[in-house]
Amino acid sequence: MIRTARQTLALAALAGLSSALPLAAQSPSGGAMLSAGAAWSSTRGAIGSIGLRGEDILKSGLDAEIDYRGGARGEEGRLRLRWRHDLGDTAFGRSTRGVITAQHSRSDWENDGYDTARTRLGFGISAELRPGAGYHFGLFWQENSLSNLRSATSPVVAAETGHSDAAGLEAALRLGRVDHATLPGVGHQLDLTVTAALTGERRFRAFEASALLARRLHPDWALSFRVSGGTTEGRAGQAVSLHDRAFVGGRSLRGFAAGGAGPRDYLAGVTDTALGGRNYLQSSLELRRDTRGPLSVGVFLDAGSAWGLDGRPSGAGGLIDDGFSLRSAAGVALYWKSPLGVINVNLARPLAARPSDSLSRVSLNLLSAF
């Protein structure tokens, strides 16, 4: 993944302050969108999805989003609500908004080895410092649960079965903008996020940064470079929980399954569980040709890793190797902008990987909107 859930949620509060931000910023008059899609990967098989998004419902400032994805190997669902109240230009900045967010999600995938659930509440202020620069500052509370462990799940994960919570402060800063979040052609963007869990059963501090640079080499050719990284440290002598670690792989590190590049408890035929890491780094360089028709073709080089666990944990496979090891993959990306949405097919060949890594050489994603 490019970002952990912490950074994604904090930056979502900035929606509407920059044209680079999707959905809410692009439909100021409000409305609803039904989406349906399909995906396939070599690790999770065929997946169907459906979602419903409402923006500025009844002109109340409330946005709602419901998503469900499922297949033969598992399912996940998410409900997210965001209420924004415009305060105008204030001492906090231009276009100041009070933002309240609430989210609940559940996940049950066979290859994860366990079920998870998360409930998160947030309250804060978002404002624009100048064109192309905005920030968010607020409070958060989050509860996570881990249950229904499979017999092959690592004992390192089993130690975290049950519920735990964290609460504290979060801040996000966004500088710059790009013309398109998924297929960027022009622009630059820097995102910084700081999180401090000061109370609750889990206490930690985290810093994350991501940058995107896109340039047109020719009207039909675009070069983009993405890089992101972060670190999390436990407070008050606590170890960083599985819920607060970073998992690298999937769309951000093509060629590897979600969570496939990082510390694992692996013993052939016994257990194969991703553990995540306190630190992560990911980068992607892509050269894309946009044709005059609906097809775009790109070549990419992705690299990244997650590393670092507290102490010297030992699992079913013995002592866990949590050292830094850069993984990489190269391949071809195909994008087809159909009347119903974008179809994306990635064909990747891992160049540097560990024997225990979970690979995904082919992935397909389809998003349709009605």
- pLDDT tens digits for range 69-125: 999 999 999 999 999 999 999 999 999 999 999 999 999 998 889 999 999 999 999
Burial class (CB in 10 A: 0-12, 13-18, 19+), 191: buried
Are 116 and 24 a contacting pair, CB within 8 Å? no
Closest to 184 measured CA to CA, from 211, 209, 212? 212
Note the pLDDT of residue 341.
67
Note the pLDDT of residue 369.
44
Closest to 204 measured CA to CA, from 130, 132, 140? 140
d(Cα 256, Cα 229) in Å, to the nearest integer?
17
Q: Report all structural domains of the chain as residue ranges with CATH numbers, in order of start.
A: 5-369 (2.40.160.50)
Q: Which residue do the tokens 């946005």 mark?
A: 63
User: What are the angstrom distances between the C-alpha of 2 and each of 106, 253, 283, 317, 341?
Assistant: 20, 8, 8, 28, 23
Are 111 and 256 a contacting pair, CB within 8 Å? no
| Region of poorest pLDDT, from 149-153, 205-209, 211-215 | 149-153
User: What are the angstrom distances between the C-alpha of 357 and each of 109, 110, 259, 268, 272?
Assistant: 18, 17, 9, 12, 9
Note the pLDDT of residue 292.
79
Reading the block at residue 88, the tokens are: 């105008």
Note the pLDDT of residue 21.
32
3-state DSSP: the chain helix, strand, coil percent, rounded to 5? 5, 65, 30
How many CB atoms sit inside 10 A of residue 261's CB?
A: 37
* pLDDT of residue 156 exceeding 80: yes
- The rounded mean pLDDT for the chain is 89
Amino acid at 340: L
Contacts of 356 (CB under 8 A, 6+ apart): 264, 266, 272
Reading the block at residue 124, the tokens are: 């804060």
pTM over 0.85: yes
Note the pLDDT of residue 12.
63
- pLDDT tens digits for range 315-353: 998 999 999 999 999 999 999 887 666 788 999 999 999
Q: Pick the residue with more confidence: 6 or 366?
A: 366
d(Cα 14, Cα 101) in Å, to the nearest integer?
12
**First-residue to last-residue Cα distance in the chain:** 28
Confidence of residue 11 (pLDDT cuts 50, 70, 90): low
- pLDDT tens digits for range 295-317: 999 999 999 999 999 998 899 98
* pLDDT of residue 4 exceeding 90: no
Query: What single string gives the DSSP state of each residue in 77-118?
Result: EEEEEEEEEEEEEETTEEEEEEEEEEEEEEEEETTTTEEEEE
pLDDT > 70 in the chain, percent? 89
- Cα dihedral sign for 199, 202, 207, 210? negative
CA angle 60, 130, 100 (to 5 degrees): 30
